[in-house]
Amino acid sequence: MFDDVAPKYDVVNDVLSMGQTRRWRRIVVDAMDMKRGQRVLDLAAGTGTSSEPYADAGIDVIACDFSLGMLKVGKRRRPDINFVAGDATNLPFADNSFDASTISFGLRNVNEPKKALAEMLRVTKPGGKLVIAEFSQPVVPLWRTMYTEYLMRALPAIAVKVASNPDAYVYLAESIRAWPDQDHLAAWLQESGWEKVTYRNLTGGIVAVHRATKPLEHTPEGAAEAIAAHKGPVAKLRRNIQR
């Protein structure tokens, strides 16, 4: 499916998000706050649009995705970026390989998202950061209703006119509607062993940017204990909401 939409993927995203995709991606890059010479894993990187700002800043970025079609389009456009085919639930990288990891609008497409969170933890260095941008749940009821109507009615109709595979965007709408809200994703991060978990709502909660840090003394056994011990309601988190 993702191979089919690769040629027009970035253009269609700009149309469907009414230009907001670029702004959301800039916020992710700012949240990462990486320095020249550091190494970043950009997971579900697709055609590499999300990886470009790091490469342009002299940061060693690895653009990883499971779709060979996406990677081929990206490599033709940006041959200077290192594109790697990989499964988010079984990453082809050694432990503690990256100063930071990020994934934008791809976690909900992973069959086992909690496993992907654990894998990103594994390959990130102790003290390293994680930044996730993902579609989420609007925080104002009226706005949530309007957004849901757009997802299920307008988005597929627009996709028919501009996309090479409109059915892929029907899946997109359904996957966004079924995705857990901000607090539940934050809980998943905590369960996976990440700490200092916070999130920021963008565009009224259509998108949420979650941030977390890998503990300095992380061990796989410790992460397993954290998952086993996690019970009760979602932890209360510090939020920085932008409407």
* Binding-site residue ranges for S-adenosyl-L-methionine: 47, 65, 87-88, 104
**CA pair distance 162, 137, nearest whole angstrom:** 26
At 183, list the tokens.
Answer: 């607090």
Provide the annotated binding site: 47, 65, 87-88, 104
